[in-house]
Structures are given as structure tokens and as C-alpha cells.
Amino acid sequence: MTQYRLKNEKDSSEEQNNSKIWGGRFSSSSNKLMEEFNSSIQFDKKLYKQDIEASIVHAEMLCKQKIISEKDFKLIKTGLNKIKTEISNNNFTFSIKLEDIHMNIENRLVDLIGDAGKKLHTGRSRNDQVATDIKLWLRDSIDQIEINLKLLQKTLMDKSELYYDMLMPGYTHLQVAQPVTFGHHLLAYVEMLGRDRGRLTDCRKRLNELPLGSAALAGTSYPIDRDFVSKKLGFDKPTKNSMDGVSDRDFAVEFMSAASLIAIHLSRLAEELVIWSSDRFNFIKLPESFTTGSSIMPQKRNPDAAELIRAKPGRIFGNMLSLMTVLKGLPMTYGKDMQEDKEPIFDTARTIQMCIVNMDGMIKGLQPIPNNMIEALQKGFPTATDLADYLVINLDIPFRDAHHLTGRIVLLAEEKDCTLESLSLKDIQKIIPEADNKILDVLKIQNSVSSRNSYGGTAPKNVLKAAREAKKRFLKD
Ligand code: ARG
């Protein structure tokens, strides 16, 4: 049988009784194993500020409701603030034996102020406490993520304004389709991130109900004032049902699903940066500070930041799946299973933040190479659709025939190894005898782009207007 031993753990029973190695050491060390397994302090110490903030307000409410004395409240408040300083100055010894952040803080409080500290936990439980702490923590993170998304949108909009008329190929199936402008392309991401911000706002709104006061699961017989605590902690209202209050983690799943979509969007942009900066495309130069060299091939500049952003959704989706799996089938109300919520939440928030700020850095520093974009465009015969449309509208040719004739013209350009723009009228008349000079204009990429002036289209004038409108819409307040 395989024996499990913690690193550095001395196996004293082994020396004492070889014949009963497993049995002997089980009773002597299982507590240690269990302590380590059961504790969350390694990761939930992150919640210390929220835990202390909520505890101070809870104590203030207990005092206001005459459940504890003014004197005890003052002692509790001073003690908790001292603990906050100790932890932020790295002057606090966390103990696995005390399991989690809640008990570590409470235990220290009793050390510091004696019996008054033992009154803090009146009318609450760790179940409503932890749900409150996580909500407070996540609320701050959501706000921070939203700010960074907005900054990234701003960077993209600035670039869109700058490159509102820079021609580049628009792709479908990663084949040149129709000309667009670089600004137009970047604005597509501004819209995606705008929806992402909306989802975060929705999630924050639904999250913003206070669980504290639900106590273990059934509420409490103390005359507490949940509205007071809710207001003071910036919640919209207390949760309506105490059982739901302690067992709800929907807000975390919602956050992770919003984060997953952000990750999807950023990974698409990251992949475009990888493609655009590859030597075959060479549409952009990424800022050196976001690329790395190869240890063996001196010519290389690898788009590592973009590749990492491309990869991170794996981790973010995984976190969401892990939490959903923990919650699924969990009977009401709290189960220790729910302690498993924290690491995926923390990791998701941190990962998505890193993706957003690194993307921002890359977009800020990228240099487009317009000549290469144009060259790629020309090679893709991107005005073929314009030509077919022209034949339909001006020469009264049915669309299917127009499509076919245009195909023959593309073939001709291919045979002559030239662009559509550089075909002569004579060349064209060999296939469409009734064509006149005007047809040459239709084949010009610049004209094609300018003609796409429908609402939401890529005509440079539109793009400039759209970038300015987006700034108004997304950057207000
Ligand atoms: N560390 C625990 C968690 O994160 C706190 C709540 C513990 N509650 C309990 N009844 N054991 O979920």
C-alpha cells in the first residue's frame, strides 16, 4: 500500500513500530494530513482586508443593536485594524491549524483584546462570512477588470482613429475577401469588449446582495440589522433567503463566464497579432518589449505575449468548469466543497487582468506596415465583388452571369500575374465587350472601400465617425 507523507514530515511511528507502520502513523499523523487538506489559509489569506472590513461593520451593528457594548466594539475595531496592519506589513503568522482567514483573524483578535474578541462572532457564522468576503473581493476585482477593459478599448479606439483609412485585406476563411481598413478591424474588438463590460456590470449588479446575517443557514435569533450592514458595505440589499445567502455561488460562475468571453475575444485578437506579425504576413511589427528572442535562432522575435493570451482561455474555461462541477448536485446549504471556489475565482481574476493589460501594451506599441497590407490585398483580387455588383447595376447583367464573367476576369489577372487594378480596358473588353472606362474605377481598392458606406460599413469616413462615436459611448464617466 502506498503511504502518503507530507514533505519534511518525520515519520516517528516508523521507528517505533515497524510491523504497524501504517496503522501507527495513521493515528499520529492523520490530524496533520487532515489539517493541511482541510485548511484554506494558504489561499484565502487574500481575503483579509474584506474579512476585516466586514467584521468591523458587523461589530458596529452588534453595538448599535445593543448586542455588544460600546467598549467591546471599540476594542474589536482597534484590534481588527491592528491585525490589518500586521498582515499588510507581513508581520502576521498564519497558522494552518486555524484553518482559514476567518479563524486566523479571530484568534489573533482574542490574543490582542481578550474576551471582547470572543464576542465578534455573535449572530454570524463562517458560512455567511465567507460568502460576504468573496463577494466583496470579487466586486473590487470586477471593478478593476472593467477599468482595464475600458483602457484597452481606449487604446483600440485611438489606433482606429489613427488608421481609419489604412487599407488592409478583410478575411473570411483566412482568405482575402474584401478590402477593409485597419481602423475598422480594430473597432470590431471595441464592440466585443463593450459587450464584455456590459456582462461584468450585470454580474456585479446581481452579485451585490449581502449574505452576512444569514448566519449558518437559518438566520439568527439576535436582533441584528442587516440593512445597516448592507448599506455600510456598499451592497444594494441583504439577500432574501438565508439558505440561499450562504450557498449561492452563482455570482462566481457568472463572473467566470464573463471572463471566459473576454478570454475568447482576447485570444482571437492575440491570434491575429500572431498571424499579422508572422514573416509571411508581415502586416505589423509588435513592440519589442512584448516579444522574446530565441535562445538558438538569432533572427527570431517570438510573439510570446500574444501566444500566452491565445492560450489562457484553457485555464479560464477550466476554472469555470471546476467550480461548476463543485456546485453541481451540492445539497443545501454549505458544504466544505464550497471552499474549492476560491482558487478558481482568484486565478481567473488574475489571469484575465494579465491578459487585458498585456494586450493593451501590445496594441499601444504595434506598428502597422501598410505597404504589406496593400500588397496582400492586391494579390487577393479583393474588388471582384465590386465588379460583379457593377455589372448587375450598370450593365443589367443577371448576378449569376456577372459572377461568372468576373470569375473569368480574375482568371485573366491570374494568368497575367497582375492585380485587377492593373488590367487594361482592352483586357476587360475581351470578356465584357460592353465595358467602358468606368469599370476601371470599380476595380480600384480605394474606391471599393469608400463605397462601403452603409451603417456599420468600412468606408473610411464611416470608420472615423464610428471611432469618435465609440469614444463617446464607451469612455463617458
Ligand atoms: N474556509 C471555509 C470556506 O472557504 C470557510 C467556511 C467554513 N464553514 C464551515 N462550516 N466549515 O468555505
Q: The CATH number of the domain where 77 resides is what?
A: 1.10.275.10
Q: Is 40 in the pocket of ligand 1 (CB under 6 A)?
A: yes
- Report the separation in Å between the CA atom of 339 and the middle of ligand 1, taken as the mean of its atom positions: 6
Region 31-45 average pLDDT: 94
Q: Is 39 in the pocket of ligand 1 (CB under 6 A)?
A: no
The per-residue DSSP string of 436-455 comes to -THHHHHT-HHHHHHH--ST
Query: Could you tell me if residue 168 is inside a domain?
Result: yes
Cβ atoms 187, 463 nearer than 8 A = yes
Give me the CATH number covering residue 179.
1.20.200.10
With 60 as the cut, is the pLDDT of residue 301 above it? yes
Query: Could you tell me if residue 68 is inside a domain?
Result: yes
Q: Are residues 221 and 298 in the same domain?
A: yes
- Report the separation in Å between the CA atom of 428 and the middle of ligand 1, taken as the mean of its atom positions: 77
Q: Is 338 in the pocket of ligand 1 (CB under 6 A)?
A: yes
Q: Are residues 284 and 412 in the same domain?
A: no
With 90 as the cut, is the pLDDT of residue 451 above it? yes
With 50 as the cut, is the pLDDT of residue 1 above it? no
pLDDT band of 8, cuts 50, 70, 90: very low
Which stretch of DSSP H or E encloses residue 175?
strand 175-181
Q: Are residues 337 and 448 in the same domain?
A: no
pLDDT band of 261, cuts 50, 70, 90: very high
Q: What whole-number percentage of the chain has pLDDT above 70?
A: 94
Query: Rounded to an integer, what distance in angstroms lies between the CA atom of residue 285 and that of residue 101?
Result: 47
Region 163-171 average pLDDT: 97
**Set 19, 173, 221, 295: catalytic member:** 173
Q: Is 334 in the pocket of ligand 1 (CB under 6 A)?
A: yes
What mean pLDDT is reported for the chain? 93
Q: Among residues 374, 392, 418, which one ends one of the domains?
A: 374
Which stretch of DSSP H or E encloses residue 14?
helix 12-16
Q: Is 339 in the pocket of ligand 1 (CB under 6 A)?
A: yes
Q: Which residue has the higher pLDDT, 398 or 296?
A: 398
Region 141-151 average pLDDT: 98
Q: Are residues 287 and 197 in the same domain?
A: yes
Q: Hey, which of 339, 341, 343 would you mutate to test ligand 1's pocket, going by the most ligand atoms within 8 Å of its Cβ?
A: 339
Q: What whole-number percentage of the chain has pLDDT above 90?
A: 88
Cβ atoms 266, 309 nearer than 8 A = yes
Considering only 107-116, 191-200, 285-294, 356-365, which range has the smallest mean pLDDT? 285-294
Query: Could you tell me if residue 315 is inside a domain?
Result: yes
| pLDDT on residue 30 | 54
Query: Rounded to an integer, what distance in angstroms lies between the CA atom of residue 132 and that of residue 51?
Result: 8
The protein residue with its alpha carbon nearest to ligand 1, atom 7, reads: 126
| pLDDT on residue 12 | 41
Region 185-189 average pLDDT: 98
Q: Among residues 311, 342, 374, which one ends one of the domains?
A: 374
With 60 as the cut, is the pLDDT of residue 177 above it? yes
Q: Among residues 101, 122, 143, which one ends one of the domains?
A: 122
The protein residue with its alpha carbon nearest to ligand 1, atom 11, reads: 336
Q: Are residues 293 and 442 in the same domain?
A: no
The protein residue with its alpha carbon nearest to ligand 1, atom 10, reads: 127
The dihedral sign for the CA sequence 396, 401, 402, 405: negative
Q: Are residues 370 and 390 in the same domain?
A: no
Domain range for residue 30?
13-122
- Report the separation in Å between the CA atom of 340 and the middle of ligand 1, taken as the mean of its atom positions: 10
Q: Hey, which of 130, 246, 327, 345 would you mutate to test ligand 1's pocket, going by the most ligand atoms within 8 Å of its Cβ?
A: 130
Residue 294 is a catalytic residue: yes
Q: Are residues 105 and 225 in the same domain?
A: no
Q: Are residues 141 and 61 in the same domain?
A: no
| pLDDT on residue 18 | 41
Q: What is the pLDDT of residues 207-238, one digit of tens each?
A: 999 999 999 999 999 999 999 999 999 999 99
With 50 as the cut, is the pLDDT of residue 10 above it? no
Query: Could you tell me if residue 8 is inside a domain?
Result: no
With 70 as the cut, is the pLDDT of residue 315 above it? yes
Q: Are residues 156 and 179 in the same domain?
A: yes
| pLDDT on residue 13 | 39
With 60 as the cut, is the pLDDT of residue 153 above it? yes
Query: Rounded to an integer, what distance in angstroms lies between the CA atom of residue 187 and that of residue 448?
Result: 19
Query: Could you tell me if residue 96 is inside a domain?
Result: yes
Q: Are residues 153 and 256 in the same domain?
A: yes
Give me the CATH number covering residue 456.
1.10.40.30
CB crowding 74-95: b at 16 or more within 10 Å, else e: ebbbebbeebbebbeeeebebe
Query: Rounded to an integer, what distance in angstroms lies between the CA atom of residue 387 and that of residue 407?
Result: 10
The protein residue with its alpha carbon nearest to ligand 1, atom 4, reads: 339
Inter-CA distances, 473 with 174, 332, 450, 470, Å: 31, 43, 25, 5
Q: Which residue has the higher pLDDT, 96 or 477?
A: 96
Query: Could you tell me if residue 5 is inside a domain?
Result: no
Q: Are residues 299 and 425 in the same domain?
A: no
Query: Could you tell me if residue 325 is inside a domain?
Result: yes
| pLDDT on residue 366 | 97
Q: What is the pLDDT of residues 402-435, one digit of tens each?
A: 999 999 999 999 999 999 999 999 999 999 999 9
**Set 69, 88, 294, 424: catalytic member:** 294
Q: Is 51 in the pocket of ligand 1 (CB under 6 A)?
A: no
The per-residue DSSP string of 337-389 comes to GGGGGHHHHHHHHHHHHHHHHHHHHHHHH-EE-HHHHHHHHHHT-TTHHHHHH
- Report the separation in Å between the CA atom of 421 and the middle of ligand 1, taken as the mean of its atom positions: 70
How many domains is the chain built from?
Answer: 3
Region 114-139 average pLDDT: 98
Region 96-122 average pLDDT: 97
Q: Are residues 298 and 417 in the same domain?
A: no
Query: Could you tell me if residue 222 is inside a domain?
Result: yes
The protein residue with its alpha carbon nearest to ligand 1, atom 12, reads: 339
